[in-house]
Every structure is written in structure tokens, then in C-alpha cells.
């Protein structure tokens, strides 16, 4: 398995880290597991931002996974380039999550654009 393929797994796990933060911050109890989505919708502040980061992470992961797979299937890009792009994408997502949690809106948006640019880059280097 390549580094880029392992990065897909990391991208899949990141939303669950965010929701874990949201639940811990919000005081979620496992004994009150009747409607966790309602609980997450009721959060404010840091917990709400962590939940929002979770939702955005779920939204972007399929595009990232597809881009990595396309790059592997096309075979036109150097493997090291694909791996570097994948690591940069995961780095941009981690920074995005940190910016979201810290409520740094402009930096968060910048990190989102960087991540989307990296996804596009997989297709460009594979053409």
C-alpha cells in the first residue's frame, strides 16, 4: 500500500476524531445515547464547531479518496508526487480542523481552499 492510500484511511478517521471532541466538550454521556444527532445539533461554541468540522470532513473525504484512486489508476503521475500531495492534503485537513476549533474563520477558509486545490492537483498531475 502506498502512503497516499494510507492517507485515505486517515481522512476517513478524522471526522470521528472531530465528533469525539464535540461529544467530550458537550458533556455527552454514553448512557444517554438515544438521539446523538439531536445532542450534536444542540451544541454551541467549541462543541458546535467540532461537529461542523466533522460534517465538512465527511463531505470532502469522498473527493479526496476518488482523487487518490484516479491518480493511482491513471499511472501518469510519479508515485512520490501522489504521496506528497496526499500528505499535504491530510496536513491541510488537520490545520483546517484546528482552525475550526480555534474559531479562526479566515484561516479555516484558506485551509479549505488549499485542500480543494490539492484534490484538483491529483487530477492535474495524472493527466
Tell me the DSSP string of 61-118.
HHHHHHHHHHHHHH--S-HHHHHHHHHHHHHHHHHHHHHHHHT-HHHHHHHHHHHHHH
pLDDT digits (tens, 9 = 90+) for 18-74: 999 999 999 888 777 888 898 999 999 999 999 999 999 999 999 999 999 999 999
What topology does CATH give the domain 3-126? 1.20.120
Mind listing the pLDDT tens digit for each residue in 83-117? 999 999 999 999 999 999 999 999 999 999 999 99
Residues 6+ away with beta carbon under 8 Å from 31: none
Residues 69-92: b if buried by 16+ CB within 10 A, e if exposed:
eebbeeeebeeeebbbbbbbbbeb
Question: Could you tell me the residue ranges of all domains in the chain?
Answer: 3-126
Checking if the pLDDT of 122 tops 80, the result is yes
Amino acid at each position: 500500500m502506498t502512503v497516499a492510500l494510507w492517507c485515505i484511511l486517515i481522512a476517513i478517521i478524522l471526522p470521528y476524531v472531530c465528533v469525539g471532541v464535540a461529544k467530550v466538550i458537550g458533556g455527552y454521556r454514553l448512557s444517554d445515547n438515544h438521539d446523538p444527532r439531536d445532542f450534536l445539533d444542540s451544541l454551541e461554541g467549541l462543541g458546535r464547531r467540532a461537529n461542523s468540522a466533522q460534517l465538512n470532513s465527511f463531505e470532502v473525504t469522498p473527493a479526496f479518496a476518488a482523487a487518490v484512486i484516479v491518480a493511482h489508476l491513471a499511472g501518469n503521475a510519479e508515485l512520490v508526487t501522489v504521496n506528497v500531495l496526499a500528505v499535504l492534503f491530510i496536513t491541510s485537513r488537520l490545520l483546517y480542523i484546528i482552525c475550526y476549533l480555534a474559531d479562526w474563520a479566515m484561516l479555516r477558509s484558506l485551509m479549505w481552499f488549499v485542500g480543494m486545490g490539492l484534490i484538483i492537483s491529483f487530477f492535474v498531475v495524472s493527466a
